[in-house]
Amino acid sequence: MPGSFFTGTTFLLTGGLFIMANESVHNQAPAKRSGFATALGALIATLGSAIGLGNIWKFPYLTGENGGAAFLVLYLLATFLVGLPVMISEILLGRAGRANVITTMRKLSPSPRQPWWLIGAAGALSAFLIMAFYTEVAGWVFAYVVRSLTSNILSTDPQVTLQTFNALVSDPFQSLLWQWVVLILVGGIITFGVAKGIEATTKRLIPLLFILLLIVDVRALTLPGAGAGLAFLFKPDFSKISTTAALIALGLAFFKLSIGMGAMITYGSYWKDDQNIPSTTLRVVLSDLAVSLLAGIAIFPVVFTYGFEPAAGTKLLFITLPAVFAQMPLGNVFIFLFFLLTSFAATGAMVSLVEVLVAFANEQFHLSRKAATWITVGLLALVGSTAALSNSTLAGFTPFGKTLFDLYDFVTSNVLLPVGGLFIAIFVGWVLKPEQVIAQLTNGGTLSNHGVVRVFLFVVRYISPLLVLVVLLDSLGVF
């Protein structure tokens, strides 16, 4: 019976998530540094940074554009051979430094003359450029939240859903307005500080998003095109593997896990001393992957049932979802909830991005948190507007053959984050003393995970940097 199947699956998957969330919940001693009150808070906030539009919007659209399952294979390789080790590296650096990115890198580098703090500076640039387009996509999500209340956006006709989307993005006024709404909201959350702002917003919402995705998936899987959709997502056609796809998969792994630019160094600084870094990070990575797959399973059956274009690009999520909800009882309510939860997930991710910028401004320019936040928000409104207007006023402005929106998206995921990740891996693998790495990963020898640590050290030294380097050089046409 579909009902019992559904509750069973929900229970299994969300159960996993809650077990993960409950790890070391018994340990409630306050953290040394101001930040999250509990280990649970630190863990959930880390998930809150990772899970966002990268999972729900970017993963499906890039998988659709790059040939489906073959791309998924590349993505999995990138996640486990590069993403996971780099994420562990960042968290351990953060917990060892217990400060913002720049101070941490200064503190941990063997000599003050070595400019490792540049990782922090480059990370701030990445955060800024990501926010410039991310706020726009988040703005679309917010607009869909309101739209789903004020009008009927459900339809299985690709022309109709496309029209709804185009009406939004080609209107310069609405594009800017929604971006500002997003920016003001994020600025407000940051002004209230780490513990209160982030912990409160992300705590309960990730499991809810998970459950809602499951509900949508059950409906999507009972559509006539479900078989074709699943085959697209899970049956690889290896002729579609290319080096361009490899670079995009690598960039997606960095983007989705919020790595390569210091966000996870900042978050690692809030992790508690007794938290098991490798195993907890693995759980974050697996949950992040699960959310992406659930989003893919919601979308591709719709694509193949109603004749959408899998390679529709950045609009894929927005044009396909109204079709699956159109086929559900109470579809209007569910689509509202879906975009609402997505807006929360996106907000958690944006908070972590702005947190990087605020910490940077705070450290480099000695601005107060409040001033740093609102100056950042103002600058983001300025630069972000060039992304917001790239479907309307600035549609004709395409340096390097891309709109500014696409350019910020491409440069951050495919250049800045991988390069940042490369240096982080090199730093942890070759510059930091192995004893220091081992002490962090075994919690000063109290964990019996020496095998895991040995594998980690090998991968972070040889495999991750080499893979990033080969993929980057290859995409530049060096080979």
- Contact residues: ligand PHE, CB under 6 A: 49-50, 52-55, 130, 255-256, 258, 261, 263, 349, 352-353
The secondary structure element, H or E, covering residue 352 is helix 331-364
Least distance to ligand PHE, CB of residue 254, Å: 8
Of 448, 412, 447, 418, the closest CA to residue 86 belongs to 418
How far is the C-alpha of 42 from the C-alpha of 198, rounded, in Å? 10
* Sequence letter at residue 268: G
Please say which residue, 138 or 216, places its beta carbon nearer to ligand PHE.
Answer: 138
Distance, CA of 68 to chain centre:
19
Please say which residue, 52 or 278, places its beta carbon nearer to ligand PHE.
Answer: 52
Three-state DSSP class for residue 136? helix
Least distance to ligand PHE, CB of residue 30, Å: 26
Three-state DSSP class for residue 159? helix
DSSP-derived letter for residue 82 is: I
Distance, CA of 263 to chain centre:
11
Please say which residue, 305 or 352, places its beta carbon nearer to ligand PHE.
Answer: 352
Contact 109, 431 (CB under 8 A): yes
Q: Please enumerate in sequence order all residues whose Cβ is within 8 A of that of 258, keeping only pairs 6 or more positions apart, or say none.
A: 49, 50, 264, 349, 352, 353
Length of the chain equals: 479
Least distance to ligand PHE, CB of residue 74, Å: 18
Q: Please enumerate in sequence order all residues whose Cβ is within 8 A of that of 49, keeping only pairs 6 or more positions apart, or say none.
A: 258, 263, 264, 267, 348, 349, 351, 352
CB-based burial, 411-426: b 16+ in 10 Å, e otherwise: bbbbbbbbbbbbbbbb
Please say which residue, 53 or 285, places its beta carbon nearer to ligand PHE.
Answer: 53
Please say which residue, 230 or 356, places its beta carbon nearer to ligand PHE.
Answer: 356
Least distance to ligand PHE, CB of residue 263, Å: 4
- Extended beta strands in 351-423, E state: none
Please say which residue, 145 or 223, places its beta carbon nearer to ligand PHE.
Answer: 145
Cβ atoms within 10 Å, residue 274: 13
Instruction: Please give the C-alpha separations between residue 282 and each of 85, 87, 443, in angstroms, as whole numbers.
Output: 9, 9, 16
Please say which residue, 412 or 442, places its beta carbon nearer to ligand PHE.
Answer: 412
DSSP-derived letter for residue 261 is: S
Instruction: Please give the C-alpha separations between residue 94 and each of 200, 215, 462, in angstroms, as whole numbers.
Output: 22, 37, 22
Please say which residue, 49 or 343, places its beta carbon nearer to ligand PHE.
Answer: 49
Least distance to ligand PHE, CB of residue 55, Å: 5
Least distance to ligand PHE, CB of residue 87, Å: 11
Task: Please calculate the CA angle 145-146-151 and round it to the nearest 5 degrees.
Answer: 110
Cβ atoms within 10 Å, residue 285: 20
Least distance to ligand PHE, CB of residue 255, Å: 5
Least distance to ligand PHE, CB of residue 345, Å: 7
Please say which residue, 226 or 248, places its beta carbon nearer to ligand PHE.
Answer: 248
Structure tokens at 162: 């496309």
Least distance to ligand PHE, CB of residue 163, Å: 27
Least distance to ligand PHE, CB of residue 349, Å: 4
How far is the C-alpha of 55 from the C-alpha of 195, rounded, in Å? 24
Please say which residue, 255 or 308, places its beta carbon nearer to ligand PHE.
Answer: 255
Shortest-Cβ-distance residue relative to ligand PHE: 54
Cβ atoms within 10 Å, residue 474: 14
Please say which residue, 232 or 255, places its beta carbon nearer to ligand PHE.
Answer: 255
* Helix 226-234 with 277-306: angle, nearest 10 deg: 140
* Helix 205-221 with 39-50: angle, nearest 10 deg: 40
Least distance to ligand PHE, CB of residue 123, Å: 9
Burial label for 438, CB within 10 Å (0-12, 13-18, 19+), is: middle
Least distance to ligand PHE, CB of residue 259, Å: 7
Please say which residue, 342 or 440, places its beta carbon nearer to ligand PHE.
Answer: 342
